[in-house]
Amino acid sequence: MIETKPRPTLPLLLLGLGLVLIIASTFYIARDYSLQSDFSTVPVQVNFPAPELTLTDTQGVTHSLAEYRGQVVLVNLWATWCPPCKEEMPTLQAFHTKYQEKGFVVIAINDGDPTPDVLQFVKDYELTFPVWLDPTYLATEQAFKTLNLPSSFVIDRNSTVRLMWVGGISIRMLDKHVIPIIRENP
C-alpha cells in the first residue's frame, strides 16, 4: 500500500481567498475614493478691492479689469506648461459658457508663454472667454500678490475680490462658491 501525504489544501485555499479579498477590497476602496473625492482646492474667502490691471489680449487689444465692473469675474492665472492649468481649462470654459448670460466672465491671464503657444492652447481647448497676456508676469504678480499657478480670483459686481484659489478648480467648487456670488445683486 502506497502512503500519500495529505495536501495542505485548506491553508492554500485560505491564502488564495485572502489574496482575492485583499485585491478586491483595494479595488473597491480606490474606486469608491475616486468617485467621492474632489481633488480641487477649496477657495479662501478674501475681501480686498480688485486691482487696477491693464494688459493686452491675444490680438494685441488693451483691456482693463475696470471694464468689467458690474460683472462677476473669475481671473485665472495660468501657463501652457502647467498640468493643473490644463486640467481646469475645460471646467472653466463650461462654467463660463453656462453663466455668461448671468453677468459672469472668466478672464484667463497667461504667464509669459510665447503668443503663438497661447494661441495654439486657446484653439486646442476651444476657449471663448477673454485671454490676456502678461509677457513678464510682473503685472499680474504685483496686482494679485501671487507666484502660484494656477491661481484664480473671483471679483464681485462691486469690484471686490471675494475668493482666491491656489491650485486647480473643479465644477463642484465653482458651483458651491461662485454661483452664490453670481446670484447676488444681478
Same domain for 50 and 81, yes or no, is yes
Q: What is the mean pLDDT of each run of 10 residues along the chain (186 residues)?
A: 57 53 47 45 93 96 97 98 96 98 98 97 98 92 91 97 95 96 87
For residues 90 and 28, membership in a common domain is answered with: no
Instruction: Report how many domains make up the chain.
Output: 2
pLDDT score for 26:
47
Task: Please state, in angstroms and rounded to a whole number, the distance separating the CA atoms of residues 172 and 36.
Answer: 12
* 5 within domain boundaries: no
Q: Could you tell me if residue 84 is inside a domain? A: yes
Question: Do residues 20 and 99 share a domain?
Answer: no
pTM above 0.85, yes or no: no
| Residue 167 resides in a domain | yes
Shared domain for 27 and 101, answered yes or no, is no
Q: Is 3 part of any domain?
A: no
| The predicted structure's pLDDT at residue 39 | 58
Is residue 97 domain-shared with residue 133, that is, in the same domain? Answer: yes
Residues spanned by the domain of 35: 10-39
Residue 1 is assigned to a structural domain of this protein: no
